[in-house]
């Protein structure tokens, strides 16, 4: 039977390389966080995911003027600021003291 010989890396080697890996991961994390921009517009998929709207509800709200939008080509954009304002204006928070 053949005997395998190998040397384990030293504690110092492991600590140094682990530290380099952690620094690299932190650098990537910081880059990702700095590249995130505040969302300015929702799209249809966002309204469906966040609010549970169906396609028909979105179309109906657009046609009735309930949902402000901008159309760019075939894509509809809904200003987050306007949606937040509508939610705030229609909130019953504080109305039942």
All structural domains of the chain with their residue ranges: 41-89
pTM: 0.58
Per-residue model confidence (pLDDT) at position 3:
76
List, for residues 27-78, the tens digit of each pLDDT value. 888 777 765 567 899 999 999 999 999 999 999 999 999 999 999 999 999 9
Per-residue model confidence (pLDDT) at position 19:
86
pLDDT band, residue 17 (cuts 50/70/90): confident
> Where does the chain show beta strands of DSSP type E?
41-42, 70-72, 75-79
């Amino acid at each position: 039977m053949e005997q395998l010989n190998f040397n384990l890396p030293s504690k110092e080697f492991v600590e140094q390389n682990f530290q380099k890996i952690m620094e690299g991961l932190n650098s990537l994390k910081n880059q990702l966080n700095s590249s995130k921009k505040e969302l300015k517009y929702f799209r249809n998929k966002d309204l469906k995911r966040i609010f549970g709207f169906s396609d028909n509800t979105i179309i109906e709200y657009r046609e009735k003027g309930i949902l402000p939008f901008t159309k760019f080509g075939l894509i509809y954009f809904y200003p987050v600021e306007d949606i937040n304002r509508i939610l705030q204006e229609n909130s019953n928070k504080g109305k039942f003291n």
